[in-house]
């Protein structure tokens, strides 16, 4: 491991905004902050918004800056990347943003029922191969996690360059009768207006330079809590998507 990564890992431990539990403390166990984020971490009662797979935390930081009436938590497993966002939050003295280093599969160990108001999923790995469909962050396995954390009016946002993941998410919404609020297959090409979408991550900038359209989906679970597995027909034809271009 390079010296720069080691330095960042060490500095992460000094940031008050950075939560990094040991694996053993959350694997099949609840973290002490579960149900206590407002009281013990943010020390206010504002709605909590998650960014899953936050990377460097560009979206977490930008949304927190623009929405002081809400609290934001960026979640990822890559500590060296998250360092950038945590350092910015620390240097700017932002009280409504934090970072949690963990696997997204473990998020129920950290958040209690109805503790979360919104979830943002920004440019996740689309898991293009059919055999990796269970890892898609808008798939049924993850929706069941979200359903147990989101409040009754909770929202899910997906911003991605992957046509495959965009189309898959539309199929998921239809399959389970979820509430589709927005489905835009090219936010810049269509002129779709939503100030929150103007934030451009490093990944998004790269994709735009390659001429890839950026899509946006916003939906709600509509009170549904169970999501039986289904195989999507689109996996048979769209599997390759922009795989060679994306990563």
pLDDT tens-digit map of 182-197: 999 999 988 887 889 9
pLDDT tens-digit series, residues 9-55: 999 999 999 999 987 777 788 999 999 999 999 999 999 999 999 99
Higher pLDDT, 28 or 69: 69
Q: Are 111 and 80 in contact (CB under 8 A)?
A: no
> Which residue, among 169, 218, 219, 216, has the nearest Cα to 197 in the 3D structure?
216
Among the listed residues 125, 185, 186, 238, the single catalytic one is 125
Residue 120, pLDDT > 70, answer yes
Closest by CA to 139, choosing from 123, 154, 151, 127, is 127
3-20+29-246, which class in CATH? alpha beta
- Both structure tokens of 244: 């060679």
Position 239 pLDDT exceeds 50: no
Does position 139 have pLDDT exceeding 60, yes or no? yes
Instruction: Tell me, yes or no, if 174 is annotated catalytic.
Output: no
In this prediction, residue 245 carries a pLDDT of 43
């Amino acid at each position: 491991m390079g010296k720069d990564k080691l330095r960042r890992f060490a500095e992460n431990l000094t940031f008050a905004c950075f939560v990094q539990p040991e694996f053993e403390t959350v694997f099949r166990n609840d973290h002490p902050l579960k149900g206590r984020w407002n009281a013990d971490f943010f020390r206010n009662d504002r709605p909590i918004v998650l960014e899953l797979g936050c990377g460097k935390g560009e979206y977490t930081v930008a949304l927190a800056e623009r929405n002081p009436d809400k609290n934001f938590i960026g979640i990822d497993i890559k500590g060296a990347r998250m360092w950038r966002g945590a350092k910015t939050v620390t240097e700017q003295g932002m009280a409504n943003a934090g970072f949690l280093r963990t696997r997204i599969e473990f998020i129920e160990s950290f958040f209690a029922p109805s503790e979360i108001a919104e979830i943002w999923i920004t440019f996740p790995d689309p898991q293009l191969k059919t055999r990796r469909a269970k890892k898609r962050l808008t798939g049924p396995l993850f929706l069941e996690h979200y359903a147990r954390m989101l409040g009754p009016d909770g929202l899910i946002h997906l911003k991605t360059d992957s046509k495959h993941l965009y189309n898959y998410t539309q199929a998921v919404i239809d399959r389970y009768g979820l509430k589709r609020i927005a489905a835009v297959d090219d936010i810049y090409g269509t002129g779709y207006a939503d100030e929150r979408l103007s934030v451009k991550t490093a990944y998004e900038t790269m994709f735009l330079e390659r001429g890839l359209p950026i899509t946006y989906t916003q939906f709600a679970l509509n009170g549904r809590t169970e999501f039986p597995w289904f195989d999507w027909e689109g996996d048979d034809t769209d599997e390759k998507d922009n795989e060679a271009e994306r990563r």
